[in-house]
Amino acid sequence: MTVPPRTHRATPGQTVGPFFAYGVEFDRMHQVVDPYAPGAVLLGGTIRDGAGAPVPDAFVEIFGADSDGRVPQARGAFRRDDHTFTGFGRAFTNEDGRYEFFTRNPGAPIGRAAFFAAIVYARGLPDRLHTRIYLPDDSAALAADTFLSSLVPEERATLVATRTPEGHLSHDISLQGERETVFLAF
């Protein structure tokens, strides 16, 4: 008796959420740097669904270079020892869909646009969403960025944060809809 060859299909993605702190929460996870450290900035925004409503049960992870544009090589991204900069942070959204990080402005080589890599997890998503949050300060570097220049102006606008009068960064993320944030495929 001949047995037909088996074919295996990839396991489909699982719906993300609802989120419970167990397993993903750690001490001062949204404080990439101490809030009172020199050069600390607040990066915050709102996660919105396709109807424009805030998403109260999402979380965001960011990873950014240090202020000199070097990617941190320190081990233990969950360590918060008040002097090691790992560049990594995680923040849950509150009931208004807001997330906040205390971090530093990432640097970039001359002529390159500085950005945070960001990952969004939210209810109803079969997989996490990857995006970028660009700093708005160097318009020439933003214009020269290969990835940004491949997008139409409306798409580019979904990736560039705004600077508040206090020097902090504001960046909303829309999961779907008219102003949907540009997400990267991995």
* Residue 28 is assigned to a structural domain of this protein: no
The domain total for the chain is 1
Q: Which residues of 145-158 are buried (b: 16+ CB within 10 A; e: fewer)?
A: beebeeeeeeebeb
Q: Could you report the per-residue pLDDT of 141-151, keeping only the tens digit for each?
A: 999 999 999 99
Compute the average pLDDT of residues 65-74: 85
Q: Could you tell me the CATH number of the domain that includes residue 52?
A: 2.60.130.10
What is the pLDDT at residue 76? 62
Q: Could you report the per-residue pLDDT of 28-52, keeping only the tens digit for each?
A: 889 999 899 899 999 999 999 999 9
* Residue 3 is assigned to a structural domain of this protein: no
Taking the CA atoms of 78, 80, 81 and 87 in sequence, report the sign of the dihedral they define.
positive
71 versus 133: the higher-pLDDT residue is: 133
85 versus 30: the higher-pLDDT residue is: 30
State the residue range of the domain holding 63: 40-174
Backbone angles phi, psi at 142, to 5 degrees: -65, -45
* Residue 186 is assigned to a structural domain of this protein: no
* Residue 13 is assigned to a structural domain of this protein: no
* Residue 65 is assigned to a structural domain of this protein: yes
* Residue 150 is assigned to a structural domain of this protein: yes
Average pLDDT, the chain: 87
